[in-house]
Amino acid sequence: MKTLINLTFLLCLFAPVSLMAQQEYRTVKDIHYYSDSVQKNDAYLASQCTLDICYPDKAKNFPTIVWFHGGSLTGGKKQIPETLMNKGYAVIGVEYRLSPKVKAPAYIEDAAAAVAWVFKNIGKFGGNRNLIFISGHSAGGYLGMMITLDKSWLAKYNIDPDSIAALIPFSGQAITHFTIRKEEGIKNTQPIIDKYAPLYFVRSDAPRMLLITGDRELELLGRYEENAYLLRMMKLTGHTKTTLFELQGFDHGGMAEPAFPLLLKEVAAVTKEILEKKQRP
């Protein structure tokens, strides 16, 4: 586990990145990530399951950050976080169906469908499909964790989640999400680890993971401890590239902004590592 000590240093560290990425960006909104055949018989799915993409126009081979919004799986809207824009990356904000209009696993299915769309289409925008990063806050972090650790969701689209460059959830729930438990009449203080828990799918061959939470004393329920347990179990399975940051002094809602520099640092480091590896004979 690592603790964020000096946020000012990290913010200064990333100042040159935005200066190096002075180029034109284009935003395309409300792209449907399900096929017409899937959405034609479901008005709610058709209206809800869209994504926005902001990408460096005329650039090539750039990384992509897929961002799932938070909101307890019951609210929230797709967003492209301003802090991630104009950094030389594509950023994709995903909308997904919400409880109680749907129940599990509908929103997990949506997350997988959106990521599958990115893998199949990002090359058309100039992006590198080997440099797709999955992130999101709270419920969004949970969705990213589920579709990355449980291979079955992306396997439906013939995509191996191990081809994800890195998973970087912000305060994601590692046990079964409390909204899913609520759908089953289980109170949010009753922890469950079942097929809807990222912890259930710990494995040694998963992509690199950077787990970020707020202060353990200020976080929502036991969110830090869940991620700490996920870190421990990943290590015990033999996974060597899982890291946990606890942002001391920040609560569940406030931890996202100071987490963005850590996300950008990870994207830059992993991108460099992947590109250098591909160049080796």
pLDDT at 14 over 50: no
Residue 117's pLDDT band, with cuts at 50, 70 and 90, is very high
pLDDT tops 50 at residue 6: no
Q: What digits encode the pLDDT tens for the residues 219-241?
A: 999 999 999 999 999 999 999 99
Helix (H) or strand (E) holding 273: helix 256-279
Residue 12 has pLDDT above 70, yes or no: no
Please check whether residue 62 is in contact with residue 242, taking contact to mean a CB–CB distance below 8 angstroms: no
Domain boundaries, the chain: 2-279
Asked if residues 92 and 52 have their Cβ atoms less than 8 Å apart, the reply is yes
Alpha-carbon dihedral angle through residues 184, 188, 192, 198, given to the nearest 10 degrees: 100
Q: State which H helix or E strand residue 68 sits in.
A: strand 62-68
The CA distance from 158 to 161, in Å, is 10
pLDDT digits (tens, 9 = 90+) for 84-101: 999 999 999 999 999 999
pLDDT in tens, 31-82: 999 999 999 999 999 999 999 999 999 999 999 999 999 999 999 999 999 9
Beta strand 2-3 pairing with 25-32: unpaired
Cα–Cα distance measured from residue 122 to residue 181, given in angstroms and rounded to the nearest whole number: 35
- Residue 16's pLDDT band (cuts 50, 70, 90): very low
Round to whole Å and give the CA distance between 34 and 26.
Answer: 22
| Amino acid letter, residue 56 | P
The encoded tokens of residue 186 equal 């289980």
How many C-beta atoms lie closer than 10 Å to residue 273's C-beta?
Answer: 13
Comparing C-alpha atoms, which of 8, 119, 33, 115 is closest to residue 66?
A: 115
* Strands of the sheet with 242-247, listed across from one edge: 2-3, 242-247, 208-214, 166-170, 127-137, 62-68, 90-94, 50-56, 25-32
**Cα–Cα nearest to 245, from 255, 254, 236, 235:** 255
Q: How many CA atoms lie within 13 A of 244 on its CB side?
A: 23
Give residue 8's pLDDT.
43
Cα separation, 6 vs 49, whole angstroms = 38
Structure tokens at 62: 């750039």
pLDDT the model gives residue 22: 67
CATH of 2-279, one of 3.40.50.720, 3.50.50.60, 3.40.50.970, 3.40.50.1820: 3.40.50.1820
End-to-end Cα separation, the chain, in angstroms? 35
